[in-house]
Structure 1
Amino acid sequence: MTQLRHARTPTLLAMALLVALGGGDAFAAAKKKKAAPKAPVVKAECTDFYSAANADWLKANPLPAGVGSISALGQLRARAEQQQRELLEAAATQPQGNVQKLLGDFWASGMDEAGVERDAANPIAPLLGRINGIKKAKDIPPAIAALHQVGIPVAFNFGPDVDLKALDRHIGYFSQGGLGLPDPAYYTRTDAETRELLGRYRAYVKQILALTGTSQDQLDAESALVLDLETRIARASRPLPDLVNPLTNYAPVPTKELKKQFRALQLDDFLKVQGVNDDVVSVANPELLKQVDALVGSIKPDAWKAYLRWRVGDAMAPYLSKPWVDASFAFRGRVLEGQVAPLPRWTQVLGAINTAAGPMLGREYAARYLPEASKKQAETVAEQMRAQLEQAIAGNTLISAEAKAEAKAKLDKLKIEVGTPRRDLDYTVQPMGRGSFGGNMLIASTWRHREEMKRIGRGNADRRWNVLPQQPALAYDLAQNRLIITAAVLQPPVFDVSRDASAQYGALGAMVGHELTRGFDTKGRMIDAKGEIRDWWTPADAAAWNALSEKVAAQYGAYPYPALTGTRVNGTLTRDENLADIAGLELAWKAFNAAQPNANPGAKETFYASWAQLWAQQLSPQEATLRVTVDTHAPGQWRANGPLMNLPDFATTYGCKAGQPMFKPEGERIQLWR
């Protein structure tokens, strides 16, 4: 302050002299300039760190016309798909081993469009022949079971899922399905828009029935039979919102009682055909199975034949010749999904292989694209994040001693699986050859279904992941208390083994922390260390968490939504993900400092930039309008900035001051695990 006063003295003397010498204009100009000093320059990092850290990406990736969104993580997914394509193309020409030979043949058969055209509907001819052979009601249940066996569920769905009373096992779940439309309500609504959709749907049913062999003069009658049967199934189905809660879908019954309850459906024989010998299954909606059971005897076999042929044709249409593909896309792609044009051929074939033989491709993908050094380093980062969470739980002042003890016991049992599952499906699939893409789909789908059925029974719940290794993902498996890090996610911007700890913890570490904390939040509290479903929080723990959740919802609810005017982030909708983002970054910062206790300022800046660069994103106003109401994640700008503003060390690193956008006063900061 002394220096400033001394500096002003000559200036004031000069002004006085100017007045005395008649220099009033100059004095007025100088006075005016002094009255409007320039505002101090605020660092870009303290204004909007997301934009500063992603400036190069945002400039290099403008949103193309007609595209709703692009993102750094979306580019990672596209890169993983391209890697799969390159692997399959190499396997088709120079396979390394038997599994690659099978996959290469599968790929070649799908890319041989001329061969697919020649093959026409031959792949499904045996299935259609069996259906056409139905004579009596007793022939219908075996036909239903046979279609399930090849991966085409009809009348209902059946598959493995966790036994909610014993999370170390899977049981078979009978659930609603067997409909051509995605929502049962479509069949019973009376509004004009739905009736128009039903009309277009019936036209599509006619197209498929004609391709399966229905004569022109029978198309109206058979399509009416199909819609009538599906409508009856739909009326016995539950509304989709009722299916969200897993507990409402869990209704175990002894397998031996199925034969008594549903005599016409022959469900005991159905299970034997699927290779299931368990003593219990879940039947969440017995009224649906009762309806199907009644329809077996009350609906004429010809109606069932039309329905089953339609379901086979619809399921297999994308893998057959052009008339089938075009019909499927015109309704499912254009009408239901709003696609303008079909995906490139290679993308369609890749999707088919992932659907029917995804685990096979996953192992080969990991062997080719995940170096052992990357896997080990990722495991090290994940283990360090686990260690930091353990310390944070021990030191947390918000949760009770009882909750801390249970959380530690649960964390001690947590499994970390990187790259590929520790246990997985086998690969004794039949040789597929290059002759028939549709035939290969059925062979692989039959194999996949058989392996899925093997998950049913004691001790099989962890046989594989619910995500494929070739799909970029980090996930916390709540039922199995395990962290999953896929092979495909271990590449930039999430992970780069050549970069130092600052980048690895800022990106992968923070994402791991996000997932790990899900085992100890409002959902994780419902499963204890023994894998039993019970709430292990005390009422005081729940109250403290709820208060923190409300604070987070309010904080994020004040942020403007990018690409929209006058719209803010839905803080309540995104609350749980925001909490996990904040927690993950807190833990990652602690882990980084443990790994590099004397990190220089540049390393700290790299840590924060690596976090922000995960969420680089461009959104159209239309896409933003949709996401603000349905997306449980905050937009990229606030996934980046929100957690950083709550971390005191961020402001210290960049010198951000009170009043600057990226600075939050201590009393406004959210603190979970620091």
Structure 2
Amino acid sequence: MARSSVALFALLAVSTASLGAVHGIQPDDIDRNAKPCEDFFAYANGAWRQKNPIPDYMDRWSRRWQSGELNKERVRDILAELSARKDWPQGSAGQLAGDFYAACMDESAANARGVEPLRPWLAQIDAITDRAGLQREIARLNDAGIAAPFAILAAEDPREPTRTIAHINADGLGLPDRDYYLKPEPRFVEARTRYLAHVAKVFELAGAPAADAARDAQTVFEFEKRLAQASLDNVQLRDPKRQDNPTTFAGLSKLAPGFDWGAYFEHAGLPRVALNVAEPAFLRQFDKELTGAPLAQWKDYLRWHVLNTAADTLSQPFVDENFAFNGQFLTGATQIKPRWKRCAELADAQLGDALGQKYVEKYFPPQAKARMQEMVKNILAAMDDTIGELDWMDAQTKRKALEKRSTFVAKLGYPDKFKDYAGVEVSRASAWNNLVATSRWNVADERRLVGKPTDRGRWGMTPPTSNAYYNPLQNEIVFPAGILQPPAFDVDATDAVNYGAIGVVIGHEISHGFDDQGAQFDAQGRLKNWWTPADGKQFAAKGQCVVDQFEGYFIEPGLHHNGKLVLGESIGDLAGAKIAYRAYLKSREGKGPEPTLDGFTPEQQFFIAWGQFRGDETRLETQRTMIQGDPHPVAKYRVNGPLSNLPAFQQTFQCKAGDAMVRAKEQRCEVW
């Protein structure tokens, strides 16, 4: 909104400077030529995007992504400080993180070695002479986190989340998902052609003659295609009931009798207790390949997955080829990330808790956690009010919904207890060896959980991560310190801005407990229906409204969002904005309104803060990949989609019927 449009508030307006440290939204980011009631995404921070093109090494860009990259600079500084010292006690957090980073940064050593670090691994695969040897090799690769063709993960039992069981998951595809192997559209055909060339090139770099490399690449592709045909697609994977297939150890052995599960479980130290098979059809196909595919095909497949896992730790030709396919082709990035950034990301992924304490000491003050706790409390209360006022839900289902809401747990900043990585060996000699050592430790650390009571103190993200999540099995919302930075959250910002940015994210994560997936889990995190039949039908109809809305959002002619794929995230955005706004207004009761800043009312600041936080510019290649497999819509529709349904937004910006940001009453979606 232009300043002239809010002249009636001029007498109440104060400047940011007059309030000292307190500040509002970023007024210079606003595109004054855009109209908030026509395209709020363009309006809220279109000027920022015009002045800040996507860096060559990124696939999207906004103040939020800029903040995430700043986090990596902070992690780099911590790692550089740790790696500068060589006298850390062996096995200490300083030694592990410092030496891991130093080895990763040693580009000259990586270039000198070429593929040599993998020679023992490739030789071990070449030495396979029978099916028993093949199975032992699959187990050894799984130990190092190379999930080919399946992965065994430790997670809560969907039937009884207080205990942790083994989940056997489908894995081992080199392309993003099954559709890339099977669908006839030109973009998938091109991806298959590029993938074949990519696999062949990597085999060549590893020493295979060109003709052999091309033949082996075709073998890998056909092998993976058969696995893909037996896999669930991305929409099916969003249905927790499809992946809830409890079985016993004996049942697992019957499902895939060609594999010696007893030897595998003994090798992995896994107890033979209750477990779950996420995709039984995939496991049956695995069994067919195990008994029917020639050993030569299996060797090509396993060699590829070792090379694919190791590529970024090897010499520059491997790094460049890996980026050419996974970076340039799939995301549209034109330049690889700086080596320090890739090494910082890898260190965080492998040794996140070793860095976490240092990070939160420097960048997450106690007052930030206290303010977040207050916001979470208010937004949870707003969700209670919203549930209580629903006119489409009967009293019985409301009681269950409120019971579930009452058991929510919020984790903020960092875990109470950090991992100590006892026993992992890291040195400055080899980046690949360090990746293997830390992967083995992390895999073993997870396997130790199987068969035991669920450890509710564990986190699924590291403290520097700029993201958040909801876990339905523990009914918890988790916000690492990395996302609790501007523009998401700022201790010096007005409540309007914080509620409009991180507040909507909090509401979003809370809403995941009640989206099409989360609503299938009860107050104890069990996959158990708590809806009356009539309310279940009402809820499904309200979700269908969201599906239909997003099916109409195109990224280019002929290519639109998959409404069923993005349903959960879109319910989260819609409900998150609604309840965060409600919580913001409630938080001001008894305090009086916040001031108008830079010509914008507090209510306007709230919505602009959401548009500025979520306002990513995204490369078209990345958008194409996103609408295929990402449950999140592209940024433009994460802003415009939910807000076009909210009367509060329309009132705040004085939008009228017929404006693009005002959905007709009969089309308006409201789930919560």
TM-score (norm 1): 0.78
Q: What does residue 580 of structure 2 align with? A: 588
Shift of 1:99: 1.1
Shift of 1:534: 2.5
Q: 1:413 to 1:304 in 2, by over 3 A?
A: same
| Aligned counterparts of 1:661 and 1:207: Cα–Cα separation in 2 | 48
Q: 1:268 to 1:360 in 2, by over 3 A?
A: farther
Contact 2:182–2:229 under 8 Å retained in 1: no
Q: What does residue 223 of structure 1 align with? A: 216
Of 63, 67, 92 in structure 2, the residue corresponding to residue 72 of structure 1 is 63
Q: What does residue 261 of structure 2 align with? A: 267
Deviation per residue, 1:418-474 (Å, 9 max, x gap)? 112456654214231211111111111111111122232232364533333322123
Q: Which amino acid aligns with 1:401?
A: A
Q: 1:606 to 1:87 in 2, by over 3 A?
A: same
Are 1:494 and 2:493 an aligned pair? no
Q: What does residue 234 of structure 1 align with? A: 227
Range moving further from structure 2, 245-254 or 103-112: 245-254
Q: Which amino acid aligns with 1:496?
A: D
Q: What does residue 33 of structure 1 align with? A: none
Contact 1:474–1:489 under 8 Å retained in 2: yes
Q: Which amino acid aligns with 2:269?
A: G
| Aligned counterparts of 2:379 and 2:612: Cα–Cα separation in 1 | 20
Shift of 1:246: 3.5
Aligned ranges for residues 303-452 of structure 1 at < 5 Å?
304-305=298-299, 307-333=301-327, 340-422=334-416, 425-452=419-446
Contact 1:601–1:653 under 8 Å retained in 2: no
Shift of 1:195: 8.5
Q: 1:377 to 1:112 in 2, by over 3 A?
A: same
Q: 1:640 to 1:353 in 2, by over 3 A?
A: same
Which structure shows the bigger proportion of residues in helix conformation? 1
Q: What does residue 245 of structure 2 align with? A: 251
What SS class does the counterpart of residue 241 from structure 2 fall into?
Answer: helix
* Greater Rg over alpha carbons, structure: 1
| Aligned counterparts of 1:319 and 1:142: Cα–Cα separation in 2 | 25
Q: What does residue 84 of structure 2 align with? A: 93
What SS class does the counterpart of residue 76 from structure 1 fall into?
Answer: helix
Q: 1:397 to 1:151 in 2, by over 3 A?
A: same
Contact 1:278–1:456 under 8 Å retained in 2: no
Of 27, 38, 45 in structure 2, the residue corresponding to residue 54 of structure 1 is 45
| Aligned counterparts of 1:484 and 1:286: Cα–Cα separation in 2 | 31
Range moving further from structure 2, 75-84 or 378-387: 75-84
| Aligned counterparts of 1:213 and 1:565: Cα–Cα separation in 2 | 43
What SS class does the counterpart of residue 167 from structure 2 fall into?
Answer: strand
Contact 1:365–1:470 under 8 Å retained in 2: yes
Sequence identity (%): 29
Shift of 1:631: 6.8
Aligned ranges for residues 613-632 of structure 1 at < 5 Å?
613-618=612-617
What SS class does the counterpart of residue 614 from structure 2 fall into?
Answer: coil
Deviation per residue, 1:203-247 (Å, 9 max, x gap)? 655555566566x59947983895498369638733545555343
Q: Which amino acid aligns with 1:481?
A: N
What SS class does the counterpart of residue 242 from structure 2 fall into?
Answer: helix
Are 1:166 and 2:167 an aligned pair? no
Range moving further from structure 2, 462-471 or 628-637: 628-637
What SS class does the counterpart of residue 525 from structure 1 fall into?
Answer: helix
Contact 1:187–1:234 under 8 Å retained in 2: no
Are 1:110 and 2:115 an aligned pair? no
Contact 1:356–1:445 under 8 Å retained in 2: yes
Contact 2:204–2:210 under 8 Å retained in 1: no
Deviation per residue, 1:365-391 (Å, 9 max, x gap)? 333322222122112211221122223
Q: 1:418 to 1:211 in 2, by over 3 A?
A: same
Shift of 1:485: 1.0
Q: What does residue 466 of structure 2 align with? A: 472
Range moving further from structure 2, 515-524 or 255-264: 255-264
Contact 1:225–1:306 under 8 Å retained in 2: no
| Aligned counterparts of 2:41 and 2:185: Cα–Cα separation in 1 | 45
Structure 2 unmatched ranges of 5 or more: 1-32, 597-601
| Aligned counterparts of 1:625 and 1:155: Cα–Cα separation in 2 | 26
RMSD: 4.5
TM-score (norm 2): 0.78
| Aligned counterparts of 1:228 and 1:52: Cα–Cα separation in 2 | 45
Contact 1:510–1:585 under 8 Å retained in 2: yes
Shift of 1:495: 0.4
Contact 1:384–1:591 under 8 Å retained in 2: yes
Count of residues paired in the alignment = 630
| Aligned counterparts of 1:205 and 1:190: Cα–Cα separation in 2 | 21
Q: 1:383 to 1:300 in 2, by over 3 A?
A: same
Structure 1 unmatched ranges of 5 or more: 1-41
Are 1:175 and 2:166 an aligned pair? no
Contact 2:379–2:503 under 8 Å retained in 1: yes
